[in-house]
């Protein structure tokens, strides 16, 4: 019987500040805990059954004596708190130096070279919220045709454009040019296309975003799985984050619900290897917009669909639910937060109720998957598979 791992990354669902949170300006951050306090409790019975309340105190989530899943939390060893850094660490890449950020915008000399390369002037070149900047500069963009360039506290170069002013294909070309030019000390983790539609005062971002990431610096978990002759299926922005490395099949998705649908589709037709999904709405729609109520609703909707995912598991499947960083919507500002991430592991033939403790790196997840799927070990991380290995094994 073939083994399969399903990893679901709840983008930005952190579970409490890390010891170095103060260095990042994130003291007091606790995405799940603070949302629960403001909402006077969360009701997530499916995650509760897997052991979510056993990881840390969360108002409304009970610590139960015999959870179905194994539970713990993971610390990030890499320097940083963004999507690229977190996902790379899960796959075995630990960054000793943070990817560059630009709190005052990109150097004017670079912007001038970029304008020359694309034969257009740009607007912005500031740190801004993506929803705010299209309201502020959207009308001028529509009038002039100049793309809006902006960044954030993350290592990103973002280009916003109205789809009826700069068509999607052209926006992607502008992003590819930027990706090729952002090298050395300007080598940001991602160049992001941020298309929008609407009219003055009512501009809104569309789901047609696309990320152009840098290449991981060395071999990653996904490549090891592929080389073993197994499937590696990516849902949502997973393909972009890893620049397609090791991925045998991928599907884009627009929002959490479609991502879950695509995950379930893969689970019906893929019998070996890895299915990896990123649920982006927690971060993009709710965390960055300080939308506490929306974040809580999104958690409940995911929890409601968790039984579908568990019902689709094969006997030798391993389901891992985790996150890549925090984005506490109760905190001032709209940036990611330096937090531990939850770790829930469940499988029909795995041990239940094992306390996995505080893992010293997200790479422990990747090391565990590598051991379970019997691939070449990844560069970093300590596997916790021996802790959850079933005492009885199914015959192949």
pLDDT band for position 1 (50/70/90)?
A: low
Convert the pLDDT of each residue in 93-150 to its tens digit. Answer: 999 988 999 999 999 999 999 999 999 999 999 999 888 999 999 999 999 999 999 9
Q: Which CATH superfamily is domain 108-213 in?
A: Phosphopentomutase (3.30.70.1250)
Number of other residues whose CB lies within 10 A of the CB of residue 244: 15
Whether residue 393 is predicted with pLDDT greater than 80 in this model: the reply is: no
For the chain, give every residue range classified as CATH 3.30.70.1250: 108-213
Convert the pLDDT of each residue in 18-49 to its tens digit. Answer: 999 999 999 999 999 999 999 999 999 999 99
CATH topology of domain 4-96+215-388: Alkaline Phosphatase, subunit A (3.40.720)
What pLDDT does residue 396 have? Answer: 41
* pTM of the shown model: 0.90
Whether residue 185 is predicted with pLDDT greater than 50 in this model: the reply is: yes
For the chain, give every residue range classified as CATH 3.40.720.10: 4-96+215-388
């Amino acid at each position: 019987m073939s083994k399969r791992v399903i990893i679901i990354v709840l983008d930005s669902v952190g579970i409490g500040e890390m010891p170095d949170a103060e260095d990042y300006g994130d003291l007091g951050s606790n995405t799940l805990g603070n949302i629960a306090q403001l909402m006077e409790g969360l009701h997530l019975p499916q995650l509760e059954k897997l052991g979510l309340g056993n990881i840390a105190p969360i108002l409304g989530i009970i610590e139960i004596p015999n959870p179905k899943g194994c539970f713990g939390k993971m610390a990030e060893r890499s320097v940083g708190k963004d999507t690229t850094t977190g996902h790379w660490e899960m796959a075995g890449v630990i960054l000793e130096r943070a990817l560059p950020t630009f709190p005052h915008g990109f150097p004017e000399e670079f912007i001038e070279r970029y304008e020359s390369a694309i034969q257009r002037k740009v607007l912005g070149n500031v740190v801004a919220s993506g929803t705010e900047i299209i309201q502020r500069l959207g009308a001028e963009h529509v009038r002039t045709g100049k793309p809006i360039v902006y960044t954030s506290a993350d290592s990103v170069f973002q280009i916003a454009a109205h789809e009826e002013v700069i068509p999607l294909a052209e926006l992607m070309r502008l992003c590819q040019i930027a990706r090729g030019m952002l090298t050395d000390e300007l080598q940001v983790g991602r160049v992001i296309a941020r298309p929008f539609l609407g009219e003055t005062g009512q501009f809104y971002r569309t789901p047609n975003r696309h990320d152009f990431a840098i290449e991981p610096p060395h071999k990653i978990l996904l490549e090891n799985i592929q080389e073993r002759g197994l499937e590696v299926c990516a849902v949502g922005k997973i393909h972009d984050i890893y620049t397609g490395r090791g991925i045998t099949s991928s599907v884009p998705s627009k929002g959490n619900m479609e991502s879950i649908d695509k995950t379930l589709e893969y689970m019906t037709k893929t019998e070996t290897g890895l299915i990896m999904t990123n649920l982006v709405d927690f971060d993009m729609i709710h965390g960055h917009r300080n939308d506490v109520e929306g974040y809580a609703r999104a958690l409940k909707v995911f929890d409601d669909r968790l039984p579908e995912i568990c019902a689709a598991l094969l006997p030798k499947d391993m389901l891992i639910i985790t996150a890549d960083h925090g984005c506490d919507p109760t905190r001032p500002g709209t940036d990611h937060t330096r937090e531990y991430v939850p770790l829930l592991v469940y499988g029909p033939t795995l041990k239940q109720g094992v306390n996995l403790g505080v893992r010293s790196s997200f790479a422990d997840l990747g090391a565990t998957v590598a051991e379970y799927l019997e691939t070449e070990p990844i560069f970093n991380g300590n596997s916790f598979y021996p802790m959850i290995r079933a005492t009885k094994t199914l015959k192949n």
